[in-house]
A and B are shown apart, each in its own frame.
Chain A
Amino acid sequence: MSNTSAAMNTSTHGNQPKLSGPLAKASAATYEYLDDRTGLSAGLRRNLRKVFPDHWSFMLGEIALWSFVVVLLTGVFLTFFYVPSATEVVYNGSYVPLKGVMISEAYASTLNISFDVRGGLLIRQIHHWAALLFVVAIVVHLLRVFFTGAFRRPRELNWVIGVGILTLALLAGFTGYSLPDDLLSGTGLRIAGGILQSIPVVGTWGVFLLFDGEFPGTAWIPRFFVAHVLLVPGLLLALITAHLLLVFYQKHTQYPGPKRTNENVVGYPLMPVYMAKAGGFFFIVFGITTLMSALVTINPIWLYGPYMPDQVTSGAQPDWYIGWLEGALRMMPPIEWTIFGYTISWNILVPSVIMPGIVMTLLALYPFIEAWVTGDKREHNILQRPRNAPTRTGLGVMALTFYVILWANGGNDIIALAFNWSINSVTTLMRVLLFVLPPIAFVITKRICLGLQRRDRDKLLHGIETGRILRLPSGEFVEVHAPVDPDEVAVLLSKEEVLPLPMPPKRDANGVRTPGYAIKALRARMSNWWYRDDVPVVTLNELESGHHHAQEQVEIAGTYGVEPTVSEEVTAGHR
């Protein structure tokens, strides 16, 4: 091994054979030219060595980034052929079933892209698949950040930016979905119009301004087009840039592990491994979305036909990310008020305006709410294991359960059909589950987390159960415990001590009432609720006596010729 390792070293640490040839010379000259004028070297020297921690879950945000790039690239191609116009024309392209039918130019040009532009169908399908993947990746990335507490100080602002990106991604998706002007997308637009129209006071005005009069009109197509290709992606690009710059500047969080502290970052330098991996990953995302587009049809708009406001198809499903809103709208009972001659449609407002508004606001403000409750304003660069924040993890799973039930109800007709149930029973069941399941999910999740905490504590104190029972000469039975791997000990020890806020005194020593007592007391109570039941962290004393015990066991076991199975090393003090 020694020879080759020496050879490997040369590639990273000096003594490097210089690249030669005309290309290398040209690049060197270009670099010098740029460097002379911009002082590029300073930044390059710093940042090529910048260290990023490694973990598979850090790849999720990267998938989102690369799928966005794929969406941008393919989208540019589509704009060359798409005609954002509602003007009716006679279709005369290659798709026989629609020949001679009067359709909008938007729909005709989308058919044209799908049937007459070579590679057009492929690019359109890549665009759609990558857009779906973009939202999936954002949501899964968000869940990772949430459950590991990566949003805590100093990264709260980046969380808010992330929620902004998610919102814009939904908007980009919806506007893009509408543009082909097929029957399915038109139905989606009709629903969006109906929702806008239900907003008290300004709803009707909103519809008339958006559609330039009544629904559907002809103005929405060029307006949605500009929003879809310029406004929303421009904002997305700005927010994504800010998001990445902040990650770069604040340095990435890391999972707990040996040698990892809150003040350092342990990982691999940008150059070369990360460069190669990240660059390669772009091509993988591009490649996979392309293969999917080659093999699996997405959004076959030619089958749906042109949009007609008096026609509809059954079993209509929106793109997956709209599913939860659709499910909420299907679930809401029919409540409508008429007050002083004005109509308030709670059956539309609650599921489509109020509920999503509350959800997105809570999501954006979550880091600040949690910090207020826990009083934890310290800087956190080490990620929390979800079990070590049981209340947060419970709340997260609770919110996820709520979301999934809404989402499932978005396909209540499909569920009813698949299981041969009454659709009304499915909907009624979902209405009940929406309120029953999330609290249950919270309790179960929190209990699982606490159980895992207890197991971690046992592991630290007593080692790993080997399942081997030893009978001592005295007749006593003992189970042989093997010491825990030191790397794992570092992870187990990452659990932080719990510090609930103290209850404020009602009056101070001089009998003066504490200002803002009610709020402070509420906060203390919430903080206590937050940290309630948490398993205490292992103290140094406990750890030492635990080691002693483990050591003893190993020795006893050794006396009788039994070898510990996991590791020879006895856990030693860490951190």
Chain B
Amino acid sequence: MSKTKFDPYGEDNPANPKKPASSSGSTSSGAAQTHGGSYEEEIIAVEAPQEIDAKAAKRAERQVATMFMVSVVCTLGFVVAYFALPATATIELPLIGITNASNLSLGLALGLSTLLIGLGAIQWARKLMPHVEVIQQRHLLKPPDSLRKAALAQFSQGAADSGLGQRRLLRRTLLASLLVFPLPLIVLARGCGPAPKGELNETMWTGGLRFLADITYQPLKPSDVPIGGVVSAVPEGLLEVQKAQHNLNERAKSAVILIRMRPDQIRSQQGEGWDYQGILAFSKICTHVGCPIALYEQRTHHLLCPCHQSTFDLADDGKVIYGPAARRLPQLPITVDAEGYLVAREGFQEPVGPSFWERS
């Protein structure tokens, strides 16, 4: 922006009464003027746009008009692209790779059409509108004391007329009724959900339930879990429970992982003989805030939660060895049934998943 300044009320402007031109816009005081009655204002400088000569103004005008016209073209382009390109059309571009052609063309068209309106308007303001720098006085936000007194007096009068001050009984009963008034709102909120009845302590796992691989839903045999392997599993009958309950609540609790190591590598576990030939079953739900834990390091038998990096040592009781989780991963005792499938010996002996107040 040019620093050329001129005084609209000075000599430069024949339409205005003669006045000595100011020397420098920012340091001189210009003419005091009252505009519109409400604001006392003083124009201190009028910064003329850079392109002050007619030729340059014409050029700026052409620039802005071009932007607006290109914007029109882009908007029309949006309409064309909308009808011409199916939503799934793709295009391969350098740098970006394969991308959605409809999204790209619609976005470029709409983006440019709006951006150019904006740029045009700003260019117009910068280059073609005079910048009249003005001083206005602020009104004090704090009202004069007399006004405040008057207002308060009015209020007191109203309060006195209402009898709020004298009629103590009315005042107190009104207060009481208003105080209990929000109670229905709170009571209504009670209907948002059932009371907790210890659901967080239980899963559907019980003795004899088979382990199903979580993708194929086929029952697992010990041979399906090789040494060093890790298999995600769900309890037999989970899909039926999901269907009956119309939700994923049971899955969110009863998912487990099966791992296998050489029996001599198990340093400790949560119950005597809870493994089956080195196969161990642990809850898959992190005891921190409930993410499913999936990153198993075969060599160290460490299980890492991808959300907050709590690390559990599955060879040693499932205890926490790093990270924010405070409790070990619950272990599920297992064995095989008559047909040789892996089954739970009994349910979890402690609640799975994140902590909660009532949990002990």
Q: Mark A residues whose CB is within 8 Å of B.
A: 1-2, 4-6, 8-15, 45-46, 49-51, 86-87, 94, 115-122, 125-126, 154, 187, 190-191, 193-195, 197-205, 207-219, 250-251, 258-259, 263-269, 272-273, 276-277, 279-288, 290-291, 293-295, 308-316, 326, 329-336, 338, 341-345, 347-348, 351, 379, 381, 412-413, 423-424, 427, 486-487
**What residues of chain B lie closer than 8 Å to A287, measured between beta carbons?**
111-118
Select from chain A the residue with minimum beta-carbon distance to B121.
A280
**What residues of chain A lie closer than 8 Å to B107, measured between beta carbons?**
122, 125-126, 290-291, 293-295
**CB atoms of A267 and B111 under 8 A apart:** no
**CB atoms of B137 and A263 under 8 A apart:** yes
**What residues of chain B lie closer than 8 Å to A294, measured between beta carbons?**
103-108, 110-111
Chain A nearest CB, measured from B288 CB (Å): 7
- Check if B52 is an interface residue, CB within 8 A of chain A: yes
Across the A-B interface, the 3 shortest Cβ-Cβ residue pairs: A294-B107, A287-B115, A194-B289
B100 partner, pick from A121, A193, A281, beta carbons under 8 A: A121
Residue of B104, B114, B117 with most partner-chain A CB within 10 A: B114
**CB atoms of A1 and B12 under 8 A apart:** yes
CA of A250 to CA of B140, assembled, Å? 9
The B77-136 residues at the A interface (CB cut-off 8 A) are 82, 85-88, 96, 100, 102-108, 110-122, 124-125, 129-136
A117 partner, pick from B87, B116, B125, B199, beta carbons under 8 A: B87
CA of A173 to CA of B196, assembled, Å? 29
**What residues of chain B lie closer than 8 Å to A120, measured between beta carbons?**
87
Select from chain B the residue with minimum beta-carbon distance to A212.
B193
**CB atoms of A381 and B251 under 8 A apart:** no
**CB atoms of A334 and B325 under 8 A apart:** yes
**CB atoms of A199 and B132 under 8 A apart:** no
Select from chain A the residue with minimum beta-carbon distance to B140.
A379
Task: Give 10 A-B pairs besides A1-B6, A213-B194 with Cβ atoms closer than 8 angstroms.
Answer: A51-B41, A264-B136, A266-B44, A273-B131, A276-B124, A276-B129, A280-B118, A290-B107, A295-B96, A424-B311
- Check if B255 is an interface residue, CB within 8 A of chain A: yes
**CB atoms of A49 and B4 under 8 A apart:** no
- How many B residues face the partner with a CB closer than 8 A? 117
B306 partner, pick from A119, A210, A314, beta carbons under 8 A: A314
Chain A nearest CB, measured from B253 CB (Å): 8
Chain A nearest CB, measured from B81 CB (Å): 9
**CB atoms of B39 and A49 under 8 A apart:** yes
B288 partner, pick from A115, A348, A487, beta carbons under 8 A: A348
**What residues of chain B lie closer than 8 Å to A263, measured between beta carbons?**
137-138
Select from chain B the residue with minimum beta-carbon distance to A94.
B88
- 7 pairs, A vs B, C-beta closer than 8 Å: A5-B52, A9-B13, A115-B88, A217-B249, A273-B131, A347-B288, A486-B27
**CB atoms of A315 and B306 under 8 A apart:** yes
**CB atoms of A332 and B324 under 8 A apart:** yes
Residue of A9, A94, A207, A348 with most partner-chain B CB within 10 A: A9
Q: Mark B residues whose CB is within 8 Å of A.
A: 4, 6, 8, 12-16, 26-27, 29, 35-39, 41, 44, 48-49, 52-54, 57, 82, 85-88, 96, 100, 102-108, 110-122, 124-125, 129-138, 140-142, 189-190, 192-196, 199-200, 214, 232, 234, 246-249, 251-253, 255, 284-285, 288-295, 306-311, 320, 322-327, 353-360
CA of A347 to CA of B193, assembled, Å? 27
Select from chain B the residue with minimum beta-carbon distance to A121.
B103
B26 partner, pick from A12, A218, A258, A288, beta carbons under 8 A: A258
B87 partner, pick from A116, A191, A209, beta carbons under 8 A: A116
**CB atoms of A265 and B13 under 8 A apart:** no
Select from chain A the residue with minimum beta-carbon distance to B327.
A336
A193 partner, pick from B189, B246, B290, beta carbons under 8 A: B290
Select from chain A the residue with minimum beta-carbon distance to B195.
A208
**What residues of chain B lie closer than 8 Å to A311, measured between beta carbons?**
292, 294
**CB atoms of B325 and A342 under 8 A apart:** no
A194 partner, pick from B37, B247, B248, B288, beta carbons under 8 A: B288
CA of A348 to CA of B310, assembled, Å? 13
**CB atoms of B6 and A265 under 8 A apart:** no
CA of A190 to CA of B252, assembled, Å? 9
CA of A50 to CA of B41, assembled, Å? 10
Chain B nearest CB, measured from A89 CB (Å): 13
Select from chain B the residue with minimum beta-carbon distance to A413.
B309
A265 partner, pick from B102, B138, B309, beta carbons under 8 A: B138
CA of A201 to CA of B357, assembled, Å? 6
**CB atoms of B193 and A198 under 8 A apart:** no
**What residues of chain A lie closer than 8 Å to B194, measured between beta carbons?**
208, 212-213
Given A215-B290, A216-B248, A343-B357, A5 and B6 touching (CB < 8 A)?
A: yes
Select from chain A the residue with minimum beta-carbon distance to B358.
A204
Given A204-B357, A332-B324, A49 and B106 touching (CB < 8 A)?
A: no
**What residues of chain B lie closer than 8 Å to A329, measured between beta carbons?**
289, 308, 324
CA of A215 to CA of B248, assembled, Å? 8
Select from chain A the residue with minimum beta-carbon distance to B117.
A283
Chain A nearest CB, measured from B166 CB (Å): 34
Chain B nearest CB, measured from A129 CB (Å): 10
**CB atoms of A310 and B214 under 8 A apart:** yes
Chain A nearest CB, measured from B313 CB (Å): 13
B136 partner, pick from A208, A265, A283, A315, beta carbons under 8 A: A265
Chain B nearest CB, measured from A479 CB (Å): 28
**CB atoms of A314 and B295 under 8 A apart:** yes
Given A208-B194, A293-B107, A198 and B141 touching (CB < 8 A)?
A: no
**CB atoms of B125 and A345 under 8 A apart:** no
**CB atoms of B121 and A343 under 8 A apart:** no
**CB atoms of A330 and B118 under 8 A apart:** no
CA of A342 to CA of B356, assembled, Å? 8
**CB atoms of A277 and B354 under 8 A apart:** no
**What residues of chain A lie closer than 8 Å to B360, measured between beta carbons?**
338, 341-343
CA of A4 to CA of B249, assembled, Å? 76
CA of A293 to CA of B290, assembled, Å? 33
Chain A nearest CB, measured from B351 CB (Å): 10
A187 partner, pick from B96, B115, B307, beta carbons under 8 A: B307
CA of A290 to CA of B114, assembled, Å? 9
**What residues of chain B lie closer than 8 Å to A208, measured between beta carbons?**
193-196
A264 partner, pick from B132, B138, B253, beta carbons under 8 A: B138
**CB atoms of B14 and A6 under 8 A apart:** yes
CA of A62 to CA of B148, assembled, Å? 34
**CB atoms of B12 and A2 under 8 A apart:** yes
**CB atoms of B324 and A204 under 8 A apart:** no
CA of A491 to CA of B345, assembled, Å? 80
**CB atoms of B138 and A267 under 8 A apart:** no
CA of A429 to CA of B202, assembled, Å? 38
Select from chain B the residue with minimum beta-carbon distance to A274.
B125
CA of A284 to CA of B111, assembled, Å? 9
**What residues of chain A lie closer than 8 Å to B82, measured between beta carbons?**
118-119
Chain B nearest CB, measured from A37 CB (Å): 22
Chain A nearest CB, measured from B53 CB (Å): 6
A216 partner, pick from B117, B136, B252, B358, beta carbons under 8 A: B252
**CB atoms of A290 and B27 under 8 A apart:** no
**CB atoms of B52 and A4 under 8 A apart:** yes
Chain B nearest CB, measured from A335 CB (Å): 7
**CB atoms of A119 and B108 under 8 A apart:** no
CA of A216 to CA of B111, assembled, Å? 39
**What residues of chain A lie closer than 8 Å to B323, measured between beta carbons?**
330, 334, 424, 427
Chain B nearest CB, measured from A88 CB (Å): 8
**What residues of chain B lie closer than 8 Å to A265, measured between beta carbons?**
135-138
B292 partner, pick from A309, A334, A347, beta carbons under 8 A: A309
**CB atoms of B324 and A347 under 8 A apart:** yes
**CB atoms of B132 and A269 under 8 A apart:** yes
B193 partner, pick from A122, A125, A209, A284, beta carbons under 8 A: A209
**CB atoms of A4 and B54 under 8 A apart:** yes
CA of A11 to CA of B61, assembled, Å? 15
**CB atoms of B135 and A347 under 8 A apart:** no
A379 partner, pick from B36, B141, B290, beta carbons under 8 A: B141
Chain B nearest CB, measured from A449 CB (Å): 27
CA of A116 to CA of B100, assembled, Å? 12
